[in-house]
Amino acid sequence: MSDLLQHLRQAVGAEHVLEGDRLEPYSHDATFMEAAPLAAVLPGSTEEVAAVVRACAAAAVPIVARGAGTSLVGGSVPLDRAVVLGLERIRHCEVDAPNTCAVVGAGLITGELQEAAAEHGLMYPPDPASVGMSSIGGNVACNSGGMCCVKYGVTSDYVIGMTVVLADGRVLKLGGKTRKRASGYRLIQLFVGSEGTLGIVTEVTVKLIPLPRHHATAMVGFNSIEEAAAAVSRLLGSGHFPAAIEIIDRSSLDLTRELLPPGFDPELAAVLIVEQDGNDPQQVHQNLLQIVEVLDGVDNRIAQTEAERDGLWRARREFGKVLMAMPSNFFAEDVAVPIASIPEMARRVHQLSLETGVKISIFGHAGDGNLHPTILFTDEQRPLVGKLAARIFRDAIALGGSISAEHGLGALKRDFAEEEHGPLAMGVMRDLKRLFDPQGLLNPHKVFPEQPADDRFLDKQPGWGVKREGAVRDRSELGA
């Protein structure tokens, strides 16, 4: 260990190798999972990352790449006494307006990229709720999405180039500023969503699009969440594609009651927040009116000013803060189902809540079938959380969906991966893992099942459902 630490100090400078009490922020993410790292190393360049990886590979010591630590599945927890490789110092950002792209360091905060692009009249659309604190590297690792996915897509739709440090320290450069490329395998897509298990992404090139000049927002109320979910399916089937369409159920509305617009009907069972954007203000407004008509709700509110628009969004955007301020614990899930199956998924979640007596709120990105059932529970109910999560996972799979739309598998969901993908697909993934990381040193104990996904094991998971307060940055902004 002393030899390895000396090599790490030589690679990045002694001041950037953390030990002892300075390791606490690097021992956990946004879940309750926790494991002490051997050390935390903060390189400032791709070359320094490569030197760190070579040193760890020579010593056969595991490495966990870390962005801002906002993972909700234990993805950046250093299991197996690993060295944490923090990428927070690699934060360069070059917006190339003529080529409508940007070259950014993996440690750059996503919101900072969006702000830099906006200065050039451009837009980087992926917008996870943690946009103000999650890093680009972490977004790439989990193929993050957000509220605008229904119209603009997810992270993988925008990554056109990257620099990756492989498990032996070699530096692989892929793609570039060219938007179209049909020469060879799409290796970039192997690393997007791989959660740091195949290589360590240190720099990405992302394409940008023109920034819409105008937005129009409405909140549409319904008498049941099933009606709201059915309205989403009806809307998208009609040919309308809003920039965002979010769903919030009654229990979530109850939690955010003080943030809702004045005069809001307290009896509504669910609302949809829908937004349209574009460059012609009249056309944008007219499109929104048509969307509201198709949704056919019982309480329609269309923002007339920017202040009213912000007011309609407030309850959704600040839901994470509300959860963190609650005295009870919560566990926010992240499943996806085909759009036409949203009503049935919502029905199953509500039925599960009724059967167990545990409150489960539903909100999420309804436009692409991504729901966030959030389990709200007391200390006495904690033993039920793993079983509830398992039921939600399996219901999503049964409806042709996924157990994770944008958070990844990490350590908390890994044991359910084979139920979704099947043994053959997981076998191919393991083959890829062995090819890229033959020593198994990159983010071990993540993604791949290590035990049967049996309910008997779920209560032993230390990360199920308990929020963590305090971290490297303000976790009260974390959402889904």
Given this model, what pLDDT does residue 320 score? Answer: 72
pTM, two decimals, is 0.91
Write down the CATH number for the domain with range 93-210: 3.30.465.10
Cα distances (angstroms) measured from residue 62 to each of 53, 65, 102, 386, 470: 9, 10, 31, 28, 26
- All residues at 6 or more sequence positions from 372 whose CB lies less than 8 Å from its CB, including other chains: 332, 333, 334, 362, 363, 364, 480
Domain boundaries, the chain: 93-210, 214-321, 327-435
| SS3 readout for the chain | CHHHHHHHHHHHCHHHEECHHHHHHHCECCCCCECCCCEEECCCCHHHHHHHHHHHHHHCCCEEEECCCCCCCCCCCCCCCCEEEECCCCCCEEEECCCCEEEEECCCEHHHHHHHHHCCCEECCCCCCCCCCCEHHHHHHHCCCCCCHHHHCCHHHCEEEEEEECCCCCEEEEECCCCCCCCCCCHHHHHCCCCCCCCEEEEEEEECEECCCEEEEEEEEECCHHHHHHHHHHHHHCCCCCCEEEEEEHHHHHHCHHHCCCCCCCCCCEEEEEEEEECCHHHHHHHHHHHHHHHCCCEEEECCCHHHHHHHHHHHHCHHHHHHHCCCEEEECCEECCHHHHHHHHHHHHHHHHHHCCEEEEEEEHHHCEEEEEEEECHHHHHHHHHHHHHHHHHHHHCCCECCCCCCCCCCCHHHHHHHHCHHHHHHHHHHHHHHCCCCCECCCCCCCCCCCCHHHHCCCCCCCCCCCCCCCCHHHCCC
Look at residue 460 in the predicted model and tell me its pLDDT. Answer: 54
Distance CA 421, CA 401 (A): 10
pLDDT at residue 455, as a whole number? 59
- Written as six digits, the tokens of 147 are 């509220």
pLDDT of residue 177: 97
Structure tokens that stand for 282 in this block: 């009249």
pLDDT given at position 108:
97
Cα–Cα distance for residue pair 111/118, rounded to 1 Å: 10
pLDDT 10s per residue in the chain (480 long)?
789 999 999 999 999 999 999 999 999 998 888 999 999 999 999 999 999 999 999 999 999 999 999 898 999 999 988 999 999 999 999 999 999 999 999 999 999 999 999 999 999 999 888 888 899 999 999 999 988 989 999 999 999 999 999 999 999 999 999 999 999 999 999 999 999 999 999 999 999 999 999 999 999 999 998 899 899 989 988 989 899 999 999 888 888 878 877 777 778 999 999 999 999 999 999 999 999 999 999 989 999 988 888 888 887 877 777 776 776 688 888 999 998 899 899 999 999 999 999 999 999 999 999 999 999 998 889 889 889 999 999 999 999 999 999 999 999 999 999 999 999 999 999 999 999 999 999 999 999 999 877 655 555 555 554 454 444 333 333 444
**Residue in this structure with the two tokens 């830099």, named with its chain if needed:** 116
Q: Determine whether domain 327-435 maps to CATH 3.30.70.2740.
A: yes
Q: Burial of 96 by CB count in 10 Å (0-12 exposed, 13-18 middle, 19+ buried)?
A: middle
93-210 with 214-321: one CATH topology? no
pLDDT given for residue 474 in this prediction: 37
So what's the architecture of 214-321 in CATH? 2-Layer Sandwich (3.30)
pLDDT at 242: 95
